Amino acid sequence: MTKNLANNFKERVCTLVSQIPKGRIMTYGQIAALCGDPLAARIVGGIAHFGDSGLPWQRVVSKNGGLANGYPGGKNGHKAALEAEGVIVNDYYQVNIEKLLWRPR
């Protein structure tokens, strides 16, 4: 493992997202930073769109607590998915990240 960060980046994000517990959420910047690149928040979103569709990307939201835009079904679908997980979503498609933001250990 000398580098190959690029090749691992996607894998790390994928793994990290899959490790997010139910009823908890994470921000793209947070995931990107934990992956090694705090400025790669956009890549996380890109991977979310082209990554594995078997991961709970629904638990991934923006730093402002707003839901994403490319989720299947739109924000309304994303909102429903989060509520199905037990996450409280406001009518403005925002979640209390201050309270639900999960932090890996």
Partner DNA sequence: CGAGTGACCGCAA
Partner DNA sequence: ATTGCGGCCACTC
Query: Which residues lie near DNA (CB under 7 A)?
Result: 5-7, 9-10, 27-29, 37, 39-50, 57-58, 60, 62-64, 68-71, 78
Query: In whole angstroms, how close is the CB of 105 to DNA at the nearest point?
Result: 21
Q: Which is nearer to DNA, 23 or 92 (CB)?
A: 92
User: Following CA atoms 60, 20, 23, 53 in sequence, which dihedral angle do they give, to the nearest 10 degrees?
Assistant: 60
Measured distance CA(84)–CA(22) in Å, rounded: 10
Measured distance CA(92)–CA(79) in Å, rounded: 10
At 56, list the tokens: 């709970």
Q: Which is nearer to DNA, 48 or 89 (CB)?
A: 48
Q: Which is nearer to DNA, 63 or 99 (CB)?
A: 63
